[in-house]
Amino acid sequence: MRLTVIGTGYLGAVHAACMAAIGHDVLGVDVDAEKIRTLSEGRPPFYEPGLDDVLTTALASGRLRFTTSLREAAAHGEVHFICVGTPQRPGSQAADLRYVDAVVDGLVPHLPASCLVVGKSTVPVGTTARLTARIAGLAPAGVRAEVAWNPEFLREGFAVEDTLRPDRLVAGVTSQEADETLRRVYAVMLEEGVPYISTDPNTAELVKVAANSFLATKISFINAMAEVCDAAGADVVTLADALGHDTRIGRRFLNAGLGFGGGCLPKDIRAFTARAQELGVGPAVEFLDQVDEINQRQRARTVALARQMVGGDLAGRRVTVLGATFKPNSDDVRDSPALAVATALHQQGADVRVHDPEGTANARRARPELDCGADLLTACQDAELVLHLTEWGEYGEVDPAELARVVRRPVLIDGRNALPHDSWRAAGWTVKALGRPSGPDRPSEVRTTREPLRAKIASPATEPARAVALAAASPAGGS
Ligand code: NAD
């Protein structure tokens, strides 16, 4: 099928490459000429594992091209996917839909024939209906452009896998024809048994914000428990493990720590509350304000803990922050909790160095005042405090004894509760984490009597392996 993918950022570039990979003839469109040039050369403009391979193969197949021209897109596509950003509107909680509207305004007057316009961006409920009316006023005579919504659930870091093998496809459609068109687009996935939920556009739009609201709530729930654990002298990791054994609850997204960030979860829950207020049901999702507040509070709590760990005043203290991206396996620093904490430490006078395996360039651009870019050991040289704030797998593999030799004081705040604390303590480190008692004989690390038996049966993961596994199942990884 002839598809266009308009907006080739984290979502659109992956969608375009993957649609070509499953056999469609795809034209990717973006207003950013530099991004289009890079993509045309087979170089992803951002870090996403596996994307370079899919992109190169798709370009070589001749089924993927890129352009900055919406006129060219109009001529090419029988289905047009809208994948542009929907950030938080300045000075408001609501979503800024100006980029979505600009696509419609730039595309529709040039349409030569009837087609399907499919939104993938995350939008407030009611957007399909609004765009349907807008398009009706813009379409050339005799041309019908139906709108459908097909929200995207990919996670940065797993975007290629999530696009090629999604856990579900949701199609918000107003006609049988639109439904059949979307089923043809995703025929390869449907043949593999991917669940396909066909519904009305309002429900489809809501699925996405409801999913992100649920994930955000789960993370903030465990972080609220961490605050209680701190006050009560209890251990939030053991608490989460015990809760997680209940299959009704599950262990995923129950990792207490610095909380969520990125270009989606924070702005999506805010936009949802704004939209609910417009619909007259603000109180129904008022709890999301608390979810947001709890999340923001973890950043402040981490800064306060850092201040405490250096004796009450951060001015002039050398501090190293491990991680700048909002989650591992991405270079995305949008609303990154790690970068927010690094910035706050800098503002309180600390001499901050930031290390990140892939996010340095974006961190520098976003926060030029921070010292980013040194390799891990150099970044930690003479540090009086190290904060582990993004759970990259490579931090789980650091040799704490080697690191202890380069720092001035071996003091660690594990803002993700993902490092093997026993090993770090054994190497001489003082380790602190939100929601966890800090003595060496914390209950969570006292072996239970069942563990040796489990070891015989299934050789459970060692602590370092667990840290890497936790990194892979990033709690801050909402799409
Ligand atoms: P992004 O900022 O990386 O990409 C948006 C792209 O749209 C940019 O390249 C921008 O130049 C382009 N653009 C803006 N206006 C345009 C126009 N008029 N014509 C053509 N291109 C235009 O954003 P993203 O992370 O890819 O997110 C896009 C949407 O997808 C958002 O609604 C987001 O909430 C949603 N989403 C994102 C993810 C994710 O993990 N990033 C996952 C699921 C859903």
Predicted confidence at residue 439, as pLDDT, reads 54
Q: What is the third-level CATH fold of 297-432?
A: Rossmann fold (3.40.50)
Predicted confidence at residue 96, as pLDDT, reads 98
Q: Is 31 in the pocket of ligand 1 (CB under 6 A)?
A: yes
Please, which residues have CB within 8 angstroms of residue 163's CB and are 6 or more apart in sequence?
A: 14, 15, 18, 154
Catalytic: which of 18, 83, 229, 264?
A: 264
Question: DSSP letters along 34-70, please?
Answer: HHHHHHHTT--SS--TTHHHHHHHHHHHT-EEEES-H
Residue ID of nearest Cα to ligand 1 atom 30: 121
Predicted confidence at residue 466, as pLDDT, reads 33
Q: Is 85 in the pocket of ligand 1 (CB under 6 A)?
A: yes
Predicted confidence at residue 363, as pLDDT, reads 98
Domain 208-292, what architecture?
A: Orthogonal Bundle (1.10)
Q: For helices 201-232 and 265-278, give the axis angle rounded to 10 degrees.
A: 120
From the list 157, 287, 152, the residue with the least C-alpha distance to 211 is 152
Residue ID of nearest Cα to ligand 1 atom 3: 9
DSSP state of 95: B
Predicted confidence at residue 444, as pLDDT, reads 40
Q: How far is the CA of 7 from the centre of ligand 1 (A)?
A: 6
Pocket test for ligand 1, best of 4, 11, 14, 104 (most atoms within 8 A of CB): 11
Residues in the chain: 479
Q: Does domain 2-199 have CATH number 3.40.50.2000?
A: no
DSSP state of 435: T
Whether 2-199 and 297-432 share one fold: the answer is yes
Averaged over successive runs of 10 residues, the pLDDT of the chain (479 residues) comes to 98 98 98 98 97 98 98 98 98 98 98 98 98 98 98 98 98 98 98 98 98 98 98 97 98 97 98 98 98 98 97 98 97 98 98 98 97 96 98 97 98 97 97 84 39 37 34 39
Predicted confidence at residue 168, as pLDDT, reads 98
Residue ID of nearest Cα to ligand 1 atom 39: 479
Please, which residues have CB within 8 angstroms of residue 191's CB and are 6 or more apart in sequence?
A: none
Q: Is 264 in the pocket of ligand 1 (CB under 6 A)?
A: yes
Domain boundaries, the chain: 2-199, 208-292, 297-432, 449-479
Predicted confidence at residue 33, as pLDDT, reads 98
Predicted confidence at residue 477, as pLDDT, reads 42
Contact 72, 27 (CB under 8 A): yes
Predicted confidence at residue 428, as pLDDT, reads 98
Q: Is 263 in the pocket of ligand 1 (CB under 6 A)?
A: yes
264 counts as catalytic: yes
